[in-house]
Amino acid sequence: MENCLFCKIIKGEIPCDKVYEDEEILAFHDINPAAPIHILVIPKKHITSLAHIEKEDENIIGKIYGVINKIAEEQGFKQDGYRVIVNCGKNGGQEVMHLHFHILAGKRLGEKIV
Ligand code: AMP
Ligand code: ZN
């Protein structure tokens, strides 16, 4: 997808601080961290948002949660816990229109909404 920031990161046109990569998934540190550890996990396929998931994408969503678990283990925050957030659309506060899962960790997180 042209003009998509995260597609440009996937293509290597924009650098990122990579945490994990396989054929379908990329994870990298958020440029503006909201917690001591703030990692974004994205599908390499351009999916605009959670609201744009098709039947064929459901597999990749499961895999992303598997990758999140693996990252938590490898980065050493699995034991202490973490929060996963997906902002969707205008009311959800989504700014980058390429589906991404925020992993927040490294401190006791406040502002619990739900
Ligand atoms: P959202 O508001 O859910 O769309 O989240 C977008 C996230 O992307 C924000 O937390 C930004 O800090 C992050 N972000 C924007 N540009 C970059 C970049 N070049 N590298 C890493 N993270 C970025
Ligand atoms: Zn994209």
Q: Write the pLDDT tens digit of every residue in 14-35.
A: 999 999 999 999 999 999 999 9
Instruction: Name the residue among 21, 24, 19 with its Cα closest to residue 38.
Output: 19
Catalytic residue among 38, 46, 98, 100: 100
Per-residue confidence band for 114, with pLDDT thresholds at 50, 70 and 90: confident
Helix, strand, coil percentages (3-state) for the chain, rounded to 5, are 30, 20, 45
From the CA of 104, the nearest ligand is 1
Residue 12 · residue 3 · CB < 8 Å: no
pTM value is 0.97
Q: Give the Cα separation of 68 and 72 in Å (integer).
A: 6
pLDDT at 112: 76
Name the average pLDDT for the chain: 97
Query: Would you call 38 a catalytic residue per the annotation?
Result: no
Structural domains in the chain plus CATH codes: 5-105 (3.30.428.10)
